[in-house]
Structure 1
Amino acid sequence: MPLFIVACGILALLLLIMYFKLNTFISLIIVSFGVALALGMPLGEIVKSIEAGLGGTLGHLALIFGLGAMLGKLIADAGGAQRIAITLIEKFGEKKIQWAIVVASFIIGIALFFEVGLVLLIPIVFAISKQLRVSILYLGIPMVAALSVTHGFLPPHPGPTVIAGEFGANIGEVLLYGFIIAIPTVILAGPVFTKIAKKIVPDSFNKTGNIASLGEQKVFKLEDTPSFGISVFTAMLPVILMSIATIITLVQNTMGIDDSKTFEIIRFVGDASTSMLLSLLVAVYTMGIARNIPIKTVMDSCTTAITHIGMMLLIIGGGGAFKQVLINGGVGDYVAELFKDTTFSPILLAWIIAAILRISLGSATVAALTTAGLVIPLLGQTDVNLALVVLATGAGSLIASHVNDAGFWMFKEYFGLSMKETFATWTLLETIISVAGLGFILLLSLFV
């Protein structure tokens, strides 16, 4: 049975990564070859499928992902992220400190990838915790909730961006609906969940944590950083451009307005790749040239950003290769046949498959890509909103982060928690994001 072969492939992937300690990319390619052979694919088609999957996935993603990494790095290196965090904390005041952390992490989380945002914000959270004499976990939970939600639901992050490309969904719609879902999800998983976690594991809120492993952090004097307004504008510019284009296109389609050169230009500027390029050029000026930083220093930041994401791009490409093998090997068609006469929602199915794979594999991006290989053949049989299927896949791929996910160990070590405390805080928080996200997606599906 095709599904039995897929299960064996996933088990082999787990063994290669966790037991034999092989690199994730190498493991994915080995398993792709193995599953292709087991599915009985013609030998001449196997390498072509793997190359097509890897190239097709990276062809769509590399430009957005690369430009996004550079944009985030420029904002971080110029002190823009620090300015956003500190200004919001001062504005909200001591009593609403959690909400300041949520808003700051959300804005920074849009511009920076999860791990980068975490490394950047944790020293700030530790400093505020010491200054206000509040628990680091009291501030840390809202911070990681906002970073995780933006990572799972909002382009240009790799998960939602690559899945939108695989499903053929409008990336602007994914962004717009992602925002609608992200805001209540962050509130539930952040400030609301903190109160619950305090009752479940009260001792964890007394831990002092340890960020020595982060090394010496670059701290700016506030007067040496860009202004708050320009920092937020630079971080949010790709979101603004994509959202404007999506809203105008939705209004045009709803009101039946004839197409014109103006609408064509708006769609061009609002395309994810164009938006990211324009935003990067603005960042080169606002975070560099306008502050008299030499262009060589600005370009060095861009180069560093790319070197840091090289392996991540290969892993995503490896996930794309595995996904293509599942499609070309007939597994997706087999799943489509199983659900042919059912009323089962593709949104729910995508979430369930992504959740099972996430728990098994650890990597949210690999889980989401593998889900695409199983769900794509189903989408032709239904008129479901593709943007919502993208978001459901993203939500499923966040569930129950545990010992096979790097995020679990980062959270545990930085906040000085025991295994039990990490499961009761981090793992539960990720599950709340996943389940609440699904709930809001299903609710939204009634209206769009």
Structure 2
Amino acid sequence: MPLFIVAIAIIVLLILIMGLKLNTFVSLIIVAFATSLALGTPLDKVVASIESGLGGTLGHIALIFGLGAMLGKLIADAGGAQRIAMTLIHKFGEKNIQWAVVVASFIVGIALFFEVGLVLLIPIVFTIAKQLKVSIVYLGIPMAAALLATHGFLPPHPGPTAVAGEYGADIGTVLLYGIIVAIPTVIIAGPLFTKLAKKIVPNAFNKTGNIDSLGEQKTFKLEETPGFGVSVLTSMFPVILMAIATVIDMVKESVGMKDNAFLHFIAFIGNASTAMVLSLILAIFTMGVARKIPIKTLMNSCSASIASIGMMLLIIGGGGAFKQVLIDGGVGDYVAEIFKGTSMSPLLLAWIVAAILRISLGSATVAALSTAGLVIPMLGAYDVNLALVVLATGAGSSICSHVNDAGFWMIKEYFGLNMKETFGTWTLLSTILSVCGLGFILLLSLFV
């Protein structure tokens, strides 16, 4: 019965969002209330459950997510992202242009959220494709693969950050393992998949695309942008801090080191929130003050970045509310009971649940958070690496982007594809990325 209620809740959510075109956050809250009541939650505890889920989720990620948006905006507005992309493309040369796009998109994708990275990099891809007389889809596929992988696997992106908080996983470990999984996954879903896509939908590689809807893009002469080294350092700084702290923590555990002031300091600066604060301070200096850009201009960029993610924060909170309703209503315990004694890996289960919800709901972040509500009660019964469960959830929530996902329509319109071509490129790409991601996560689980 609880799973039947969840199925009905998902169908209602689809009708509200896709059929009635209701705002995603409003739809999530309505469904959360209805699901809570249907699961038999006492009336005096329904609101508390929803508030707990919403507040608990946002309380953990709002700081990281908000500072991450500001960091990305400062790098983009200063021309740092353009410098990274153009320098790598120049260094790799025409022969290896796809690999240049992959590396540039991966670095930029760590600092910028998926939609922002897409809007920023697409004009650059179009320009390079025109100069080199190559297909925009030939360059667009590796770009999209890198951006989707960072979105699904790496903090400070909303999905992995929020789910790490729900599972109680260390964000630094998620980041480190996420990079290990993402690199081979992007290679397969990007440059290698391009060869397959050419055979499946050859006409897609003849399209010229249309980015008029992006409006006038802010472009820079290369000499006006920050240096390549400082741009990469600023983009990667939170990754560097969190990775250092995670590696040192692993070494400490393996050799049995005792806690001391130095280790406490490293843990402090490697904490995701601290790392994002320090990275933002660095960006204010490298992307602004050092280039004599007024503080007021920099703060305008920060304000604009928060305005653009306000609704996303509410949607994440709504997903957290729905997740909590499932937990408090006993759905997670019911799922745990069904799989009691089964030999199925929690990694595989998290991936399957996230994949089903992603295909049903469209939003990767909402799918990941809803998965947490079903999987959390099971985790206590298994000796499993929580960081890998986060990544398995992220992999599942990346699968099969189709008509109920905004990313599908962005790719379709920008690259001028028809429906068949979009399914044969973007939808297949996201599915390959999801399945390969799971494969590398299961492989990594044998060693950590």
Do the structures match in fold with TM over 0.5? yes
Who is 2:69 aligned against? 69
Q: Normalising by the residue count of structure 2, what TM-score does the alignment of the two structures yield?
A: 1.00
Cα distance between partner residues in 1 of 2:136 and 2:19: 34
Structure 1 CA distance, aligned partners of 2:158 and 2:393?
13
What corresponds to 1:151 in structure 2?
A: 151
Q: How does 1:400-415 map to 2 (within 5 A)?
A: 400-415=400-415
Number of the residue aligned with 1:185: 185
Structure 1 residues without counterparts, runs of 5 or longer: none
Rounded to whole Å, the distance in 2 between the matches of 1:392 and 1:92 is: 32
Unmatched 5+ stretches in structure 2: none
Structure 1 CA distance, aligned partners of 2:123 and 2:21? Answer: 31
Partner of 2:15: 15
User: 350-359 vs 332-341, which deviates more?
Assistant: 332-341
Q: How many Å apart are 1:334 and its aligned residue?
A: 0.6
Runs of 4+ aligned structure 1 residues displaced above 6 Å come to: none
Equivalent residue, structure 1, for 2:129: 129
Q: Secondary structure at the match of 1:440?
A: helix
* 2:111 counterpart residue number: 111
Aligned-pair distance for 1:297? Answer: 0.3
Partner of 2:216: 216
Whole-Å separation in 1 of the counterparts to 2:206 and 2:16: 38
CA drift of 1:439 comes to 0.3
Any idea what SS the aligned residue of 1:219 has?
coil
Cα distance in 2 between the residues matched to 1:14 and 1:411: 22
How far 1:343 moved relative to its partner? 1.5
DSSP 3-state at the match of 2:403: coil
Distance (whole Å) between structure 2 residues aligned to residue 388 and residue 169 of structure 1: 9
In the TM superposition, residue 134 of structure 1 has moved relative to its aligned partner by 0.3
Task: Give the AA of the match of 1:153.
Answer: F
Give the Cα–Cα distance (whole angstroms) in 2 for the partners of residues 347 and 203 of structure 1: 38
Amino acid in structure 2 at the alignment position of 1:391: L
Instruction: Give, in whole Å, the separation in 2 of the partners of 1:198 and 1:344.
Output: 36
Q: Report what 1:354 is aligned to.
A: 354
> In the TM superposition, what whole-angstrom CA distance separates every residue of 1:215-260 from its partner, at most 9, and x where no partner exists?
0001101101000000000000000000000000000000001111
Give the Cα separation in 2 of the matches to 1:201 and 1:340. 44
Alpha-carbon deviation of 1:261? 1.1
> d(CA) in 1 for partners of 2:172 and 2:295?
32
**Matched residue of 1:417: which SS?**
coil
Which residue number corresponds to residue 430 of structure 1?
430
Amino acid of the residue matched to residue 55 of structure 2? G
Paired residue for 1:324?
Answer: 324
Whole-Å separation in 2 of the counterparts to 1:410 and 1:144: 11
**In structure 1, how many angstroms separate the alpha carbons of the residues matched to 2:22 and 2:191?**
38
CA RMSD of aligned residues (A): 0.4
Pairing 1:47-446 to 2, within 5 Å after superposition: 47-446=47-446
The alpha carbon displacement at 1:280 in A equals 0.1
Using the TM superposition, give the Cα deviation of residue 344 of structure 1 relative to its aligned residue in structure 2, in angstroms: 1.2
**Aligned letter for 1:66?**
G
Taking the aligned partners of 1:106 and 1:310, their CA distance within structure 2 comes to 25
Deviation at 1:207, TM superposition (A): 0.4
Amino acid at match of 2:276: M
The 2-side partners of 1:173 and 1:242 are apart by: 8
1:31 corresponds to: 31
CA deviation digits over 1:166-196, x for unaligned, max 9? 0000111100100110000000000000000
Following TM superposition, by how much is the alpha carbon of 1:339 offset from its aligned partner in structure 2, in angstroms?
A: 1.1
Deviations 1:381-424 (A, max 9, x none): 01100000000000000000000000000000000101000000
Letter in 2 for 1:260: N
What residue identity is the alignment partner of 1:244?
A: I
Q: Aligned residue pairs: how many?
A: 448
CA distance in 1, matches of 2:36, 2:218: 48
1:430 and 1:62 map into 2 onto residues whose CA distance is 27
Cα distance between partner residues in 1 of 2:164 and 2:386: 8
The aligned amino acid for 1:336 is A
Does the alignment pair 1:45 with 2:45? Answer: yes
Residue 382 of structure 1 aligns to which amino acid in structure 2?
A: Y
SS in 2 for 1:40: coil
Distance in structure 1 (CA, Å) of the matches to 2:111 and 2:66? 12
Identity %: 77
Secondary structure of the 1:22 match is coil
Tell me the CA shift for residue 346 of structure 1. 0.4
Letter in 2 for 1:141: I
TM-superposition CA deviations, 1:101-134 (whole Å, max 9, x none): 0000000000000000000000000001110000
Residue 26 of structure 1 and its aligned partner are, at CA, apart by 0.3
1:238 is paired with a residue whose SS is: helix
Q: Distance in 2 between matches of 1:442 and 1:223?
A: 45
- Measured in 2, the distance between the counterparts of 1:154 and 1:389 equals 13
**AA partner of residue 195 (structure 1):** K
Helix, strand or coil for the counterpart of 2:258?
A: coil
Aligned letter for 1:424? G
Task: Give me the TM-score of the superposition, normalised by structure 1.
Answer: 1.00
